[in-house]
Amino acid sequence: MSVSRRRRSVFDLIGEYIDEMESWVEELMVSKQPSWNINTNTIEPLCNVDITHDEVVVTADLPFSDPESVKVELLDKGTLEIKAKIKRRICCNDLGIIHQSGEFYTFSCKVRIPVPVDMDKKKEKVKKGILEVRLPRKKGYEIKVE
């Protein structure tokens, strides 16, 4: 059995730990914010990440969205951004928000992808207003079985 993989320096490892901690801090910060932003006219949808043996499946619930407008982009190696236009007028009052006024035009959320994925091979579909993105996982190294 032979194992080959890229050697990582101690600085790579420290960098990864810092990235990890930053994402935890970001998650903590985000969780204290409302799921809507009147300044950017956006609503943060519910989303979910499932990591399986060979792919990462990201889903997002996008009611009232226009399926043609859905955009999925990898911002950096660990963050996926989902955006979609809302096809009907939704104002604060529609969501039971009385103390502020404004309208929402877009769904927007950022999802952390904790393992390397191949964006070129991503597959997307929208069904029942739910976006599903399938991202094949990149293989880091191979273990040969003799």
Closest to other proteins by CB, 75 vs 95, is 95
57-73 b/e (C-beta count within 10 Å ≥ 16 → b): ebbbebebbeeeebebe
How many C-beta atoms lie closer than 10 Å to residue 20's C-beta?
A: 13
Which stretch in 6-14, 55-63, 77-85, 137-145 sits in contact with other proteins by CB under 8 A?
55-63
92-121 b/e (C-beta count within 10 Å ≥ 16 → b): beeeeeeeeeeebeebbbebebeeebeeee
Letters for 63-102 (x = contact with other proteins by CB under 8 A, - = none) are xx-------------------------x---xxx------
The single residue among 43, 56, 72, 117 that binds other proteins, judged by CB under 8 A, is: 43
**Smallest distance, Å, CB 128 to other proteins?**
6
Which stretch in 20-28, 70-78, 116-124, 128-136 sits in contact with other proteins by CB under 8 A?
128-136
Helix (H) or strand (E) holding 47: strand 47-51
> Taking the CA of residue 131 as centre, how many other CA atoms within 13 Å lie in the half-sphere pointing to its CB?
32
Any residues with CB less than 8 A from the CB of 29 and at least 6 apart, and which? none
**Smallest distance, Å, CB 88 to other proteins?**
9
Letters for 8-37 (x = contact with other proteins by CB under 8 A, - = none) are ---------------------------x--
Which position has the token pair 């970001």?
Answer: 26
132 binds other proteins (CB under 8 A): yes
What residue ranges bind other proteins (CB under 8 A)?
Answer: 35, 43, 45-46, 48, 59, 61, 63-64, 90, 94-96, 127-130, 132
